[in-house]
């Protein structure tokens, strides 16, 4: 399986980095099987970096191969669709940065801005989980593959990278 990582830098040797913000599946190296989604991530990351530092940042895509036939010895959690179990994991990981699950790899849907808003409603007590899941049925939700351990990172191979050229307006 080919996976893509969007960033403001080329990533040949992925790492799991902790930060102060909760992520959908906790700390890990996030990729997607959707090239266009990774490109949007890269553009957004470069924009945020440029704005924060005042230095121009260029969006890059790093491409990896992930052999799904070589998962022996790894704990893999796969969510085909949003479910109560998926929602519970995303809520735990986003609301408590000290929470750690036991999965080496988590494959599932991404809580994009509109999905993230729904999750925020649940976390703040405005919406019940059951209602949130009903709302999410109507969302087009992209995917993500999160490598949550160094053991999992050893299963991916860097293929290539490319810069995303900004179009002139």
Instruction: Check: CB of residue 59 under 8 Å from CB of residue 164.
Output: yes
Res 164 pLDDT > 60: yes
Q: Is the dihedral of CA 150, 142, 97, 100 positive or negative?
A: negative
| 82: nearest Cα among 127, 31, 41, 138 | 138
**pLDDT band per the 50, 70, 90 thresholds, residue 162:** very high
| 144: nearest Cα among 107, 114, 112, 119 | 107
pTM: 0.86
- Outline where DSSP puts E strands in the chain: 2-7, 29-31, 60-66, 76-78, 105-109, 143-147, 156-163
Averaged pLDDT, 70-94 = 89
Joined together, the tokens standing for residue 100 give: 């750690």
Instruction: Check: CB of residue 129 under 8 Å from CB of residue 122.
Output: yes
Res 169 pLDDT > 50: no
């Amino acid at each position: 399986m080919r996976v893509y990582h969007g960033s403001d830098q080329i990533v040949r040797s992925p790492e799991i980095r902790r930060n102060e913000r909760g992520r959908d599946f906790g700390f890990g190296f996030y990729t997607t099987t959707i090239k266009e989604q990774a490109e949007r991530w890269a553009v957004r990351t470069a924009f945020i970096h440029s704005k924060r530092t005042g230095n121009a940042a260029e969006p890059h895509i790093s491409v990896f191969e992930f052999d799904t036939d070589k998962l022996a010895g790894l704990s893999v959690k796969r969510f085909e669709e949003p479910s109560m179990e998926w929602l519970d994991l995303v809520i735990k990981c986003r609301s408590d940065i000290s929470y750690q699950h036991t999965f080496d790899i988590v494959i599932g849907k991404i809580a994009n801005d509109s999905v993230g808003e729904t999750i925020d409603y649940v976390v703040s007590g405005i919406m019940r989980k059951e209602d949130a899941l009903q709302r999410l049925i109507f969302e087009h939700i992209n995917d993500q593959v999160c490598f949550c351990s160094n053991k999992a990172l050893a299963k991916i191979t860097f293929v290539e990278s490319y810069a995303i050229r900004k179009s002139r307006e």
